[in-house]
Structure 1
Amino acid sequence: MSHPNSTPTLTLNDGYQMPQLGFGTFELSDEAVVPAVLKALEVGYRHIDTAKAYHNEAGVGRAVRESGLPREEIFVTTKLWNTDHERAGEALEESLERLGLDYVDLYLIHWPKLGLDKRVEAWAAMEQARAKGLIRSIGLSNFTPQFLSEILKNGSVVPAANQVEYHPTFQQRETVAANAAAGVVTQAWSPLGQAKHLDNAVLGRIARETGRTVAQVVLRWHLQQGRVAIPKTATPARIAENFAVTDFSLTPEQMAAIDALHSGNRLGPDPDLVQSF
């Protein structure tokens, strides 16, 4: 059963398909996440992103079950937290228990913390869990090119994805290039820049030209550049608005104008500087 407005998918390096538009659940409580995910699935999202650190895996799993959709139609991502690098196998099983699922589609190391040996140990445990069928795809989050190269050198499975902060005023082009060179899909968290771009004059002009909202323009920019975008909102109208981005295109000139907005405006922690939370 495909939704009439279903988003395009990207084929990962392990052969699995990932919907290019995901629904983020950061800062949504276990209770609040249930109606939000149900609404997202109702409007057509088939990719839900959570993490142990969000403290809402149980709610996400409940919404997946209550949606009535077949499990195989929903791409579920969760993440290994910083304090669990030495017990990645157990942490995954605890996440699966909270989610109430037999497997997750994607499991990410949330941050490159705690030293190379522990990252490599975590990656090896994730490779083993993947071989057992507890995870379909394994990947990284917030890994700069230096950290990515460590995993490529020391692991036997190439990461399927790397989820990083990416929005019009913070474009990690070196990281995207390193991901692409290794065959790793780039996922954008805070793809809308935490709503800080919604009054940008350039984006406002393009929104008027296309008859769309600024948020829709930015999400379309991500999709056309081959990234996975994971917007987050609990507002039902915005959940639907953010999903309605597959029936228009931006021109090369409009794409270039958004590309030119990069200003190094990082909103989240710098993985190279912040080594503990």
Structure 2
Amino acid sequence: MNSATSNFEVDATGVSPKQLDGLIPSLKLADGNEVPMLGYGLGTANYKSGSAGDAISEPIVTATLTALKAGYTHLDGAEVYGNEVELGKAIEQSRLPRSSLFITTKTIVHAGDTVTQSFNRSLEKLGLDYVDLYLLHSPFFAKTPEELHQAWREMEKIKDSGMAKSIGVSNFLISHLQTLFEIPGGFVYPPVVNQIEYHPYLQHVVEGEDLIAYCREKNIAIQAYSPLTAITNASPGPVDPIYTKLAKKYGVSEAEVALRWCLDQGIVTLTTSSNEERLKGYLKKLPSFKLTPKEVEDIAAAGKEKHHRVWWTENFDANDRR
């Protein structure tokens, strides 16, 4: 898998959507498509529960527009977030060319539903003719290998239709990927992305198994969600003093150090905020520095001293670091 090797660049004029292509490197996926390495995620701060019904949440539309105006063209959504309509309205209201955007959505694959039905609903809610990336949101819906294989065959047909430029998975561990790779007859299109919770306290390394290394061996790009967990959900912890030291060294925030740690590993990184200045700050500051290989390793080593998982905890034992 090719990784983005060009560094960010920034000038004194700041950041605008028109400048974005020159600032954020893209990662070339195994299928030849490219994804901006920094994206705006709608899954945490902008989650809309089912109790909200069909009413449009203007705050979610506004927050997403804020991200677009700040310069983010990589937007990550999902059917289960309940806000695809709001994402679509923000895209429409931004008046940015569709070709300048990279849009992701995901299917949770509910019982009695099909991937195709889910995908068609998503496109309708988004008001789009296609998405750039479509993901199986998790492997946990599949009770048998056959169910997983059937879902992937539907994913392949969606890619064949051109309505999803790339297809991949999310929250898949090595065992799930191994099952997927046993699909009878082999892939028409293999997954090119695995989107996972990733931060220093969840590096997916256990008993000689390394999920990141496995994905790279299989030409599957990693996307990280919840990269700021060590700051927002798991502080105090052993990485705190390292973040503080590096933030002072580079003149940036601790959050920017945390994001840079992922980017410097060639990992596509998703973040979220409703604060326009903070979002702009990420685009301005992240290009201005790069961690050394030793600093990346120091954070990783300290992170392994603690375990903290934010999402999908019902599927894992408390100390399961996979």
TM-score w.r.t. the length of structure 1 is 0.92
Please, which moves more after superposition, 206-215 or 5-14? 5-14
CA 188–4 in structure 1, closer or farther in 2 if over 3 Å, else same: closer
Residue 145 of structure 1, CA deviation: 0.6
Paired with 1:82 and 1:230, the residues of 2 have a C-alpha distance of 23
* Alignment counterpart, residue 74 of structure 1, candidates 83, 98, 101: 101
Distance, in Å, in 2 between the alignment partners of 1:31 and 1:52 is: 18
> Which stretch of structure 1 is more off in the superposition, 94-103 or 108-117?
108-117
- 1:133-172 equivalent positions in 2, closer than 5 A: 133-154=162-183, 155-172=187-204
Identical aligned residues as a percent: 34
Aligned residues: 274
Whether the 8 Å contact between 2:109 and 2:115 is mirrored in structure 1 is no
Measure the CA separation in 2 of the matches of 1:5 and 1:190.
25
In 2, are the aligned partners of 1:21 and 1:229 still within 8 Å (CA)? Answer: yes
TM (normalized to structure 2)?
A: 0.80
Q: Which of 28, 33, 40 is residue 23 of structure 1 equivalent to?
A: 40
Distance 1:138 1:271 in 2: 26
RMSD in angstroms over aligned alpha carbons? 2.0
Q: Hey, what does 1:96 align to over in structure 2?
A: 123
The farther-off stretch of 205-214 and 168-177 is 168-177
**Cα shift at 1:246:** 1.6
SS of 2:106's partner is strand
Give the Cα–Cα distance (whole angstroms) in 1 for the partners of residues 271 and 90 of structure 2: 18
Residue from 254, 262, 267 that aligns with 1:222? 262
Residue 218 of structure 2 corresponds to residue 182 of structure 1: yes
CA distance in structure 2 between the aligned counterparts of 1:165 and 1:39, rounded to whole angstroms = 24
Cα displacement (A) at 1:243: 2.8
Spell out the pairing of 1:119-268 with structure 2 (5 A cutoff): 119-154=148-183, 155-173=187-205, 174-193=210-229, 195-196=232-233, 200-244=240-284, 245-260=286-301, 261-262=303-304, 263-268=306-311
Match of 2:4 in 1: none
Distance 1:44 1:60, change over 3 A: same
The 1:201–1:85 alpha-carbon spacing in structure 2 relative to 1, beyond 3 Å, is farther
* Alpha-carbon distance in structure 1 between the residues aligned to 2:111 and 2:60: 24
Q: Deviations over 1:199-258 (max 9, x none)?
A: 612111110111100011111111110001101222222222233312211122321221
**For structure 1, which segment, 35-44 or 222-231, has the greater mean C-alpha deviation from structure 2 after superposition?**
35-44
| CA gap 1:84/1:45 in 2 versus in 1, 3 angstroms | farther
Asked if 2 retains the 8 angstrom alpha-carbon contact of 1:80 and 1:108, the reply is: yes
1:153 shift after superposition: 2.3
Unaligned runs of 5+ residues in structure 1 are: none
**1:52 and 2:79 are equivalent in the alignment:** yes
| Distance in 1 (alpha carbons) for counterparts of 2:291 and 2:95 | 35
Per the alignment, residue 6 of structure 1 pairs with: 23
> What is the deviation of 1:158?
1.3
Amino acid at match of 2:43: F
Which SS does the other structure have where 2:58 is aligned?
coil
Quick one: structure 1 residues 255 and 22, their matched pair in 2 at CA, closer, same or farther if it must change by over 3 Å? same
Q: CA separation of 1:78/1:88 partners in 2, compared to 1, >3 Å: closer, same or farther? A: same
One-letter code aligned to 1:249: K
Is the CA contact 1:48–1:77 (under 8 Å) kept in the aligned structure 2? yes
Distance 2:111 2:131 in 1: 17
Higher Rg: 2
Q: How far apart are 1:19 and its partner, in Å?
A: 0.4
Deviations 1:140-183 (A, max 9, x none): 00000110122222133110100001012211241111110100
Alignment of 1:98-113 (within 5 A): 98-113=125-140
Gaps of 5+ in 2: 1-17, 49-56, 318-322
Contact 1:203 1:214 (C-alpha < 8 Å) held by counterparts: yes
